[in-house]
Amino acid sequence: MHRAERADALALGLAHLLAQPNRDPFAPEVVAVPSRGVERWLAQQLSHRLGAVDGDGVCANIRFPLYKQVLDEALAGADEQYRASVEAWAPERLVWPLMSTIDAVAPDPAFRVLALHLGVGADRGRRYAVAAKLARLFGAYASARPDMLTGWAAGRDEQGDGSPLPPDLVWQAQLWRHLRSEVQVPAPAELLDDACTDLAVPGLPERWSVFGLSRMSPSRLQVLAAIARRQDVHLWLHHPSPALWDTVSSSALEPGPRRGVVSPAANPFLASMSRDMVELHTLLRLHAPETGNEHHPGPSRPGTLLGRLQADLTADRPPAPTAAVDGSVTVHACHGRARQVEVLREAILAALAADPDLEPRDVVIMCPDIETFAPLIAASFGMAEQSGGHPAAVLRVKLADRSLQQTNPMLNLLAQVLDLVRSRVTATGLLDLVSAGPVRRAFGFDDDGVERIRGWAVTAGARWGLDAAHRAPYGLDRFAQGTWRAALDRVLLGAAMEEHGVAVGETLPLDDVDSGDLDLAGRFAELLDRVETAVEAMAGDHTIGEWAALLADTVFGLGQAEQTWQDIQVRSELDEVAETGAGSAVRLGIGDVASLLAHRLAGRPTRASFRTGSLTVCTLVPMRSVPHRVVCLLGMDDGAFPRHGISDGDDVLARAPRTGERDVRSEDRQLFLDAIMAAQDKLIVTYTGSDPRSGADVPPCVPLAELLDTIDATTAAGSVVTRHPLQPFDARNFTPGELTGTADPFSFDPVALAGARAAAGPRTPAPPVLARPLPAAATGDVNVDDLIRFFQHPAKGFLRQRLQVSTVTADDDPSDDLPIELDSLEKWGVGDRILRRLLEGHTIEDIARLEFLSGTLPPARLGRLVLTDVGPTAKRILDAAAVELALPATAADVHAQLADGRRLTGTVTGIRGRDILTVIYSSLGAKHRLAAWIQYLALTASNADVAGAVTIGRGSGGARRSYLSGLDAEQARMVLTWLVQLRDRGLTSPLPMAIATSEAYADARRRGFTHDNALSKASQKWAGMFPENTDPEHVLLYGGAVGLDELQAGPLAQQETGLFADETTRFGVLARAVWEPLLSHEQVS
């Protein structure tokens, strides 16, 4: 037995041992390790020692198997019966016979509680979950308490020490015996004693090592001790305290119930963190009492606070206030996880800046919850391609221990498919699948393609469900509207033909699909078809072998890997799953399979690479705590560490735990201790010390609180805890000495510094979009439609017609719900379409059918409710135009000569008789009347045979009609010239006008309101219930949703002076100049 406080001293000792070759120098050396993580590090360490010249040697012909494997294989190799037994009783294999056994015994009253538990679930999913759990438990019993299982086999319902099982757990012993006869092979526990008595191990050299042991189950220790009777086995123990070792050696501690055992350690922190180590020692004393043991002292600890802390632990003495706070241990209380990562980044940079010899590879970050922190770390470190120039951008970071699902997109796709298949297949769910990397590769969807499909899903109205039958579990199989089948039919029909308002059968072709989309539509249809096939196949129960094949077919049918290993990994995972249940006839539902795979896809320690040059981020797992100059512990939050480990009520071991039995809390505490001992220069710890929302103090996790207590007792004054501000751009981050007491500012973040400076500097308002008017644009002929569009929205007109800038309106988002009610905009859309189709001569019945087929209406009766509201309104508007509509529609060209010699051109359509007719579903408002006015002016000025312009829209209680008339050609030319020139000015700088606001003002003034009263009328349009000041164009030009005052600012142009003596603002003058001629020639009825 070899012991050392530090793993490097242990490795050095191992190198000395290995330097003496075994009898056969060509036979490989065997060094068994507890986890994959330690293997790379140990090989590196040994390569610096073995045959080394100047620290440059070679590590070859050494096998590093897992020690569990070595011991199990040693037994299996020695004893054929034992091998068969271990194989049959492996938990992942045991689950299948266990399910059959459970089915068989369920009716027996002895298993009533179990049967009730299984019977309550809505599906039979619990059966698998319970069997999997029991299989794991039986496995744990076998390794922790083989004696209990031999007792059970012999018909004694005991706990391993002869005491009876708690009455509520007796069923487990009974179940186990049923299982035993089902499996037909004795359990390993029954064979263990025999196997150990005469153990010859052919596969192992006469001398081999177990390195980095921290906890070993009693049954494996028994095997190890048996092997050691024949062979030289060197145990290499990472033990923090030789003093504690001696204390335990001379104590009366014996294996037994854990409860009530008091740690013999004198240092309270050591007492709290070292239970696993003390228990291992206790067990070793029992199983290998005469083992020789050697202590390999490490280098002496530095005189820092950290060194003092470690020396106290090594010597197992209570802390005394002998050290000063010196920066070797820093604890950072932050607002939440994202800030922890930022703060840690700055703290690491400070360490690197303070010591030029320190390299990123000397730093390790350990984090109990790497999946949560991984994206935050990726966002804070190594973003070399991002601008901003943060010095940490060049730090390369290596994340270890991620879950398979995170590292392999094909496994992620597998998980996604399992979720999708069990779901309602919503619009967003399926579109997520479409945009998954492997799916895009398999179906050749590029960014544009994904966008097109998304657009189709929205316009074709896909909401959820593959087809009507797929909705049966929700009782909605009578409704096919909004299914993917319905949407796809529309897409495919749309690819084949134009819409033209004609349905084919029950399908309306989608307008938005052109011939160039044919191929994309086909591939999308293929994808949907494969999803449908998967959904149908996975609805049934299958054996695990069938499931593995089905899942492989589905995932390779839907996705294509970027790299071959990803495919291979999926196949091997599924093959392994299938192999565990080979020969079992047990059938599972999809819920069981999902639960089974979730366990396999979770994170597990990987072969981490230390000292590759990158900064390593890894989880806390045994023997990961190899020495690093700087050790960082990230995320030591209350509740996150140590792991919960709520004990399962069915776990016999948890009822009365005994020495050496696994306890995740105690394991995590040991890891915490190891991490602290592994730090050479600096220990940096972060935790959430303040709630990021409320700012309230949050205590650290308990082990960290204990560490802080110990540090307080070790220091005479001062604190190692820094409470960080909420924001990275807080000035305190950049004030020397403010946060950490050092002479330098804490943060290295240049962007945050700029932010802090800006926050501290004077506040300046944002500059206006336009500092001075633009030069006049070229004057020439003007199109009548441009003129109309300009005055319908002068701000938009300026942006579009002069700057050629348009504001983006957000795309429609896909919705996952069937429409039940329509909002006012959607209702307007329906009304507008109905009115247009009525004008085109369709019948109301045809129109209603088209609306239903387009999926915009709520289903069935709920949709008809909308139609009974909207339809008659449209009809009334149409009726109000009956006289005009009876006449044929004609068009007339515009060619008006303006007063300044320019020409107005274009075409006006919709002329009925001598009137221009506009029929709209909207309320009769300023926008449409102004358009009609300009059309009327244009045709009159062109000497066309026009009497007036009729606009018919919605009014309270029915239709309203505006009739504009009464100008001759000359008057029309005057007004038009003025408008065209106003537009010229409005193209050099925005006009202080807004259509409804200006109309309201002009109308009020015309009706005799004072300036102030008219303004308040205008204000209701500008910033009222349907405000114009929040239009994106107004927000862009005025820097926000401003008040009407700001619209009134600005001087009059020369052409505008003297028009209205009683107007004091340009807003007022322009409103009246544009609207008064219209209002005085309008009749509304």
Partner 1 sequence: MSAIFDLYGPLPTGTTVLEASAGTGKTFTIAGLVTRYVAEGVCQLDDMLVVTFGRAATQELRDRVRERLVTARDGLSDPATARTQTGDVLLRHLAIGDDTEVANRRARLATALAGFDAATVATTHQFCQQMLIGLGTAADLDADATLVESIDDLVDEVARDLYVRMWAGDYVTFVPMTQAQALEVARAAVHDEQATLVPDTAARDSAPDLRVRFARKVREDVDARKRARRILGFDDLLTRLQSTLTDPDTGPAAAARLQGRYRVVLVDEFQDTDPVQWDILRRAFHGAATLVLIGDPKQAIYAFRGADVHAYLDA
Q: What span, in angstroms and rounded, lies between the C-alpha atoms of 278 and 660?
A: 9
Cβ closer to partner 1: 172 or 217?
A: 172
**982 in Cβ contact with 964 (< 8 Å):** no
Going from the C-alpha of 929 to that of each of 659, 750, 923, 939, 1002, the distances in angstroms are 90, 56, 11, 15, 14
* Residue 593, token pair as written in the block: 């399979």
Cβ closer to partner 1: 342 or 667?
A: 667
Cβ closer to partner 1: 438 or 642?
A: 642
**CB of 957: closest distance to partner 1 in angstroms?**
23
Cβ closer to partner 1: 360 or 863?
A: 863
List interacting residues with partner 1 (CB under 8 A).
Answer: 112-114, 116-117, 120-123, 125-126, 129-130, 132-133, 166, 168, 259-263, 268, 271-273, 275, 318, 422, 474-476, 478-479, 591, 595, 598, 638, 642, 646-651, 665-666, 669, 691, 696, 698-699, 702-703, 705-706, 709, 713, 817-818, 820-821, 858-863, 865
Cβ closer to partner 1: 536 or 821?
A: 821
Which element (helix H / strand E) includes 989? Answer: none
Q: Token match 């005055």: residue?
A: 791
Cβ closer to partner 1: 698 or 995?
A: 698
User: Residue 580: CA atoms inside 13 Å, Cβ hemisphere, count?
Assistant: 22
Q: Token match 């293997």: residue?
A: 39
Q: Which residues of 743-768 are buried (b: 16+ CB within 10 A; e: fewer)?
A: eebbbbbeebbebbeeeeeeeeeeee
**149 in Cβ contact with 189 (< 8 Å):** yes
Cβ closer to partner 1: 34 or 657?
A: 657
**74 in Cβ contact with 151 (< 8 Å):** no
**CB of 257: closest distance to partner 1 in angstroms?**
12
Question: Could you tell me whether strands 294-295 and 2-4 are parallel, antiparallel, or unpaired per DSSP bridges?
Answer: parallel
**CB of 665: closest distance to partner 1 in angstroms?**
5
**CB of 667: closest distance to partner 1 in angstroms?**
12
3-class DSSP state of 919: strand
**CB of 647: closest distance to partner 1 in angstroms?**
6
Cβ closer to partner 1: 419 or 900?
A: 419
Q: What span, in angstroms and rounded, lies between the C-alpha atoms of 706 and 34?
A: 28
**CB of 7: closest distance to partner 1 in angstroms?**
24
Cβ closer to partner 1: 129 or 969?
A: 129
* Residue 510, token pair as written in the block: 């989608």
**CB of 700: closest distance to partner 1 in angstroms?**
9
Cβ closer to partner 1: 81 or 100?
A: 100
**CB of 429: closest distance to partner 1 in angstroms?**
13
**CB of 63: closest distance to partner 1 in angstroms?**
37
**CB of 555: closest distance to partner 1 in angstroms?**
22
Q: What span, in angstroms and rounded, lies between the C-alpha atoms of 578 and 557?
A: 19
The rounded Cα 309 to chain-centroid distance in angstroms is: 40
3-class DSSP state of 651: coil
Which element (helix H / strand E) includes 62? Answer: strand 62-63
Cβ closer to partner 1: 174 or 965?
A: 174
Cβ closer to partner 1: 130 or 561?
A: 130
Q: Which residues of 966-978 are buried (b: 16+ CB within 10 A; e: fewer)?
A: ebebeebbbbbbb
Helices assigned H by DSSP within 240-335: 242-249, 268-273, 275-287, 305-315
**CB of 276: closest distance to partner 1 in angstroms?**
12
Output phi, psi for 765, to 5 deg: -65, 155
Cβ closer to partner 1: 475 or 762?
A: 475
- DSSP secondary structure code for residue 776 in this structure: P
3-class DSSP state of 1010: coil
Q: In 10 A of CB 611, how many CB atoms?
A: 16
Q: What span, in angstroms and rounded, lies between the C-alpha atoms of 747 and 749?
A: 6
Q: Which residues contact 335 (CB under 8 A, 6 or more apart)?
A: 688, 689, 690, 691, 692, 695, 724, 725, 726
**CB of 130: closest distance to partner 1 in angstroms?**
6
Cβ closer to partner 1: 133 or 156?
A: 133
Cβ closer to partner 1: 701 or 834?
A: 701
**CB of 820: closest distance to partner 1 in angstroms?**
5
User: Residue 549: CA atoms inside 13 Å, Cβ hemisphere, count?
Assistant: 7
Q: Which residues contact 1016 (CB under 8 A, 6 or more apart)?
A: none
DSSP string over 654-683? HHS-BTT---HHHHHHHHHHHHHHHEEEEE
The rounded Cα 1068 to chain-centroid distance in angstroms is: 53
Q: What span, in angstroms and rounded, lies between the C-alpha atoms of 9 and 18?
A: 14
Cβ closer to partner 1: 130 or 370?
A: 130
**CB of 272: closest distance to partner 1 in angstroms?**
4
Cβ closer to partner 1: 597 or 972?
A: 597
**CB of 397: closest distance to partner 1 in angstroms?**
30
3-class DSSP state of 47: helix
Q: Phi-psi bin for 976: left (phi > 0), alpha (psi -120 to 50), beta?
A: alpha
- DSSP secondary structure code for residue 773 in this structure: P
**CB of 824: closest distance to partner 1 in angstroms?**
14
Cβ closer to partner 1: 264 or 829?
A: 264
CA dihedral 1082, 1083, 1084, 1085 (to 10 degrees): -160
**CB of 111: closest distance to partner 1 in angstroms?**
10
* Residue 492, token pair as written in the block: 């495919």
**CB of 150: closest distance to partner 1 in angstroms?**
24
